[in-house]
Structure 1
Amino acid sequence: MNQETETVLAYHDRTKHRLEKYARGPETLDWDDQPDPFRRFSGCDIVALPSPGAELEPLFADLDKPELIPPKPLNKVNTGLLLELAFGLSAWKQFGPSRWALRCNPSSGNLHPTEAYLINTDKDLFNPGVYHYVSHDHHLERRCLFTPEATGTDIFIGLTSIHWREAWKYGERAYRYCQHDTGHALGALRYAAAILGWSVELLAEWPDADIAALLGINRSGDFRNHEHESPDIICRINTRAGRGKPLNTAALLESAQSGAWFGKAESLRAYHLYKWPVIDEVSKAAAKPYTQEAYWQPSREQAIKSSCRQTATAIIRQRRSAQQFDGKTPPLPLADFYRMLSAVLTPSKLPFDMWRWPPKIHLFIFIHRIEGLAPGLYALPRNHDVLEKLQAATLTDFDWRKVEARHDNASAAIPLYHLYSGDFRQLARTLSCHQPIAADGMFSLAMVAEFSGLMEEKPWIYRRLFWECGLIGQVLYLEAEAAGIRGTGIGCYFDDGVHEIVGIKDYNFQSLYHFTVGKPLEDKRLQTLPAYAHLLRDKMDD
């Protein structure tokens, strides 16, 4: 095991929440110190995008077969829709004088450490270069103008993280949450692209250094201390049927290196009262070099058909994180539950159709109220090859009895295993940092990763495991909305408490994310405002 992997594993162990002690975080929350949730660059030309909010025809159910959705042309309207549906605002909430934005991509604590960049090489779209997307204003800031000869037919999306945005509230554990949010953002991007008939290709070979150079986030003079951005991934957006032609990576990087750069990042208006150097340490240790990455060829089984008749754009824009559940509504219909399981299992279904590796995240599910299923603890291995390893790693008391599908629309291939019967509501609540929302829903779950063996010489895999968790979370968010209920990601849980309950005794498996689904209780005190009403007011004022 190399030094970098040891650093990552030490960080993971250090940032576990324990029943007797939480991971290190701020002693108080200074709301005046909260970082600005919207990054802006001064000194950049602005590229206006068409007004957001347009509806598109595809139903949410149509996304089960995205290859049948005709590709929209690459133009400014559709580029704006891609950015809005992936990273744009979905609503504003207001309580008294306080007002805050919600976005289409979920984020831990609604802090949004993820920044999105558009790299354009198509001169028919607008000037080729690197652009930063400002979700608040739904416009682009041109950070780099490529030379006239640097043209092509591609657009790319680059994702970065501002770790301080999460650390302000969550302290040392924040690095984990930033990786969750990268996975959420990747899932949101894939859904948005599918509605347009486009696909997403993860350029997983790229080293972090090249991502930073392309996006200009290695230009240290353009960022304030402690407010820099860390590179995550570059995605190519294929706007025509099939995968695009081979990419000339060297030429794209040369375009950025020889281009004209503009602007400096404005202050996030934070005092940085607390410092968390361990986040910089793990970020450095988990930096990714250039790697050879294969395209995993998943089986082509079909997901259980969705019965949702709403448009995909409506589902995306209405997605919310539930704050509390009622805890007493009738059980979730079995067909809806099987649909959710199918959606996170099927590797050929989006967003997993862009994922280039076999599944490494598996689910332990606390079933509270599901029609036709006894309350208890269940397991859903997302890769059949890991079944025996999971059985060997967990309690011998578990019966690992496969649940036979009992619904006309359910596939018997769903590998749901009953482990133990009983009322697990109080235990689920306790394990999720005593949060009632884990007990009051229809079910909650722990995402457990194949862990230490993957990272022995590749510490950057740590990030990728959390990204896969975020992808699963985004699927559950949207599937819950489609079923008329709601989901919530839970980053606060007692790591080793989860391991003890299922019998995990070593680092071969580790719990990385929790999630819960139920009937939400709406807070009537909160006022909901349209996502971009402020832009209309600004136009009227002009």
Structure 2
Amino acid sequence: MNEQTQTVIDYHHRTKHHLDRYAKGPETLDWDDQPDPFRRFAGCESMPLPKPGAELPILFSELDNPQAIAPQALTLESLGLLLELSFGLAAWKQYGPDRWALRCNPSSGNLHPTEAYLINTDSSLMKPGVYHYVSHDHHLERRCRFADDVDNTGILIGLSSVHWREAWKYGERAYRYCQHDTGHALGALRYAAAALGWSVELLAECADDDIAALLGLDRQDDFKPDERESPDLICRIHTASGTGTPFEIETLSETLQSAAWSGRASNLKAYHMYKWPIIDEVSAAAAKPRTGEPLWQAAPQPVVTLSSRQTATALIRQRRSAQHFDGKTTLPLTDFYRLLSAVMPARKPPFDLWRWPAKIHLFLFVHRIESLAPGIYALPRDPEALDKLQNATLADFDWQPVSDILPLYQLYMGDCRQIAKTLSCHQSIASDSAFSLAMVAEFGFGDQPWIYRRLFWECGLIGQALYLEAEAAGVRGTGIGCYFDDSVHEILGIKSDRLQSLYHFTVGMPLEDTRLQTLPPYDHLRNKEAR
């Protein structure tokens, strides 16, 4: 184990919640200190995108077979729709004088640390260069200008994180949540691209330094020190227009040598009352160099048919996090199986972009599922993990298979609602739902500490699939980042670091808060135009 890996492991253990204490966070929250969820760059060219809100006839169920979807042409309209459905606004909520935006990509605490960038090399689409996407205004900011004769490698999407946006509320544990959000954003991008008939290639070989240079994140003078962005990942979008020349990081890096940058990141309007240096330490330790990555692809999986007739665009825009559940609705067994089949590694969105075998497995607390006894269940997402999970958990677990179409096993029969609630920081959303679950990782990465981030990204991908599939089933999901780590392990009988719980999720029938007013996502742009 190298020093960087040890730093990552130490961070993970230090930021666990315990029944008698929580991970270090702010003692108070000053709401006047809350960071601005919308980043803008001053002093660079602004480029409006076509009006948001376009619909596509593609059903959400058709995304099960993305190869059969006729690809849309690459235009400013389709590009704008990709960005909107991936990272744009889904609605505004208002309660009294307070008003806040919801987005298509979820975020813990609705804090949105993830920033999205477009790299365009197609001069027929728009001027080649690096653009920052502003979800509030649905426009692009041109941060960097390429030469017009740059080799056309198509379009790339890069993601970064402003760690402090999460740390403002969650303190030291925030680095974990930023990685969750990256996974959710990656999943949102994949679903949006699939609705357009496009595919997404995760360029896993790239180093963080490569991504930082491509997106301009290494231009430290352009950012306030406490509000800098950390590089996460970069993807290539394959569209109907073809892919252009093969992508080479060296070629694009050479293009940057003659590129002209402009713009400075706006202040996020906060005072930075608390400092969390451990986040910078783990971020540096988990930095990724250039690597060779396997061309791994999941084996074909059986698909449980989805009966929903909603379009993909409508369903993506209606995704919400449930705040409360009714505590009584029973989920049909077919819907439950559909939800679980959707999170298995497969050659369909969002997991068809994932480059590695599954390392995240589900332990479920079933409360109200039709024809399924309440209790604890397990869903190994890789058949080779079954023996590992059996050997690492309680010897008294039954491990009885309960399905012919899914690797679902019953471990314990009994009412687990109070257990689920207690483990998820005493939150009733984990017990009043139809089921909740813990995402448990095969927790080992040797001298490759950046894999720690990928484990959380994989959790986020699973969470994004659960969010959308829950909506399609007529219910709702919620990601849970607050849970008592080692208490989860104790309930499951896990005694070593080889398995670690990284994320919780819950699904059920939501109770709507009628005090909240829901407003259209981009009415503020229409009102601005009217004035």
Asked if TM exceeds 0.5, the reply is: yes
Q: Aligned residue for 2:25?
A: 25
**The residue matched to 1:226 in structure 2 has which SS?**
helix
Per-residue CA deviation, residues 289-329 of structure 1 (Å, 9 max, x unaligned), is 01000111321233212111000001000000000101012
- Map 1:77-226 to 2 at 5 A: 77-226=77-226
Q: How large is the Cα RMSD of the aligned pairs?
A: 1.0
CA distance in 1, matches of 2:359, 2:300: 18
- Map 1:23-102 to 2 at 5 A: 23-102=23-102
Q: Aligned residue for 1:388?
A: 387
Say whether 1:465 aligns with 2:455: yes
Q: Aligned residue for 1:409?
A: none
CA distance in 2, matches of 1:6, 1:243: 41
Per-residue CA deviation, residues 412-436 of structure 1 (Å, 9 max, x unaligned), is 2300000001100011000000000
**The residue matched to 2:342 in structure 1 has which SS?**
helix
CA distance in 2, matches of 1:472, 1:537: 37
Say whether 1:540 aligns with 2:515: no
**The residue matched to 2:389 in structure 1 has which SS?**
helix
Distance apart, 1:150 and its partner CA: 1.3
Select which of 428, 437, 446 maps to 1:456. 446
Question: 5+ unaligned residues in a row in structure 2: which ranges?
Answer: none
Per-residue CA deviation, residues 14-33 of structure 1 (Å, 9 max, x unaligned), is 00000011000000000000
For residues 223 and 53 of structure 1, do their structure 2 counterparts lie closer, same or farther at Cα, with a shift above 3 Å needed? same
Q: Aligned residue for 1:359?
A: 358
Distance apart, 1:251 and its partner CA: 1.4
**The residue matched to 1:19 in structure 2 has which SS?**
coil
Say whether 1:510 aligns with 2:500: yes
For residues 370 and 80 of structure 1, do their structure 2 counterparts lie closer, same or farther at Cα, with a shift above 3 Å needed? same
Select which of 438, 449, 453 maps to 2:430. 438
CA distance in 2, matches of 1:98, 1:300: 47
Question: 5+ unaligned residues in a row in structure 1: which ranges?
Answer: 406-411
CA distance in 2, matches of 1:459, 1:399: 35
The one-letter code matched in structure 2 to 1:518 is G
Q: Aligned residue for 2:2?
A: 2
Per-residue CA deviation, residues 77-133 of structure 1 (Å, 9 max, x unaligned), is 000000000000000000000000000001000000000000000001100000000
Select which of 462, 470, 487 maps to 1:497. 487
Q: Aligned residue for 2:262?
A: 262
- Would you say the 8 A contact 1:222–1:264 is kept in 2? yes
- Would you say the 8 A contact 2:50–2:76 is kept in 1? yes
TM-score if structure 2 supplies the norm length? 0.99
- Would you say the 8 A contact 1:46–1:142 is kept in 2? yes
CA distance in 2, matches of 1:252, 1:62: 35
Per-residue CA deviation, residues 217-256 of structure 1 (Å, 9 max, x unaligned), is 1000000010000000010000039877521221111222
- Would you say the 8 A contact 1:214–1:257 is kept in 2? no
Q: Aligned residue for 2:516?
A: 526
Q: Aligned residue for 2:229?
A: 229
**The residue matched to 2:284 in structure 1 has which SS?**
helix
- Would you say the 8 A contact 2:121–2:151 is kept in 1? yes
CA distance in 2, matches of 1:488, 1:255: 43
Select which of 390, 415, 419 maps to 2:411. 419
For residues 243 and 511 of structure 1, do their structure 2 counterparts lie closer, same or farther at Cα, with a shift above 3 Å needed? farther
The one-letter code matched in structure 1 to 2:391 is A
**The residue matched to 2:226 in structure 1 has which SS?**
coil
Distance apart, 1:148 and its partner CA: 2.2
Distance apart, 1:288 and its partner CA: 0.2
CA distance in 2, matches of 1:513, 1:147: 44
The one-letter code matched in structure 1 to 2:358 is P
TM-score if structure 1 supplies the norm length? 0.97
CA distance in 2, matches of 1:414, 1:318: 28
Select which of 456, 465, 469 maps to 1:479. 469
**The residue matched to 1:8 in structure 2 has which SS?**
helix
**The residue matched to 1:315 in structure 2 has which SS?**
helix
Q: Aligned residue for 2:13?
A: 13
Deviates more, 1:182-191 or 1:235-244: 235-244
CA distance in 1, matches of 2:151, 2:43: 24
